[in-house]
Amino acid sequence: MPNLVKVDIQTGRVIEDNLLEFWACQTRGLIADAADGKQAWPAALLDEDLRERVKLFNTGRRRGNINSWSTAELCRLAVLMGRQKRNYKQAAARLGRTPRACQFMFREMTKAGVL
């Protein structure tokens, strides 16, 4: 995928659009190969353990209103901020939440020992 977007400047038409493939590659969260000397963790085991901890954390909370976080959103937040080391603004853009909400929930999960 050499170009993200290829545009004809004279007409303004988009000739080639590879943005979806780019974001699909970015959000996979693949662990790098052990060729660079680092020990690679098995991603499936790490994700399953993280999902289980997030599920326990979310069942203990007694919030069921329209703004409550789903287990999938909490897992995504944990992966984005815990494993991929994204900041609050980047995680908020990916999740469709406010940066302050992401910051608060990340702090709550950290205090509860989820991360």
Running along the chain, 115 residues long, what does each successive block of 10 average in pLDDT?
82 85 64 46 64 84 73 88 88 90 91 86
With CA atoms as reference, report the closest residue to 115 among 23, 19, 51, 20: 51
For residue 113, report the phi and psi dihedrals to the nearest 5 degrees.
85, 15
Q: In the prediction, which pLDDT does 40 show?
A: 47
Using DSSP, state whether 61 is helix, strand or coil.
Answer: coil
**Could you give the angle at the alpha carbon of 64 between the alpha carbons of 60 and 67, nearest 5°?**
115
DSSP assignment letter at 40: P
Using DSSP, state whether 62 is helix, strand or coil.
Answer: coil
The model's pTM: 0.56
Q: In the prediction, which pLDDT does 45 show?
A: 55
Distance from C-alpha of 57 to C-alpha of 77, rounded to nearest angstrom: 13
End-to-end CA distance of the chain: 34
What stretches of the chain show up as alpha helix (H) in DSSP? Answer: 19-27, 43-60, 71-78, 88-95, 99-112
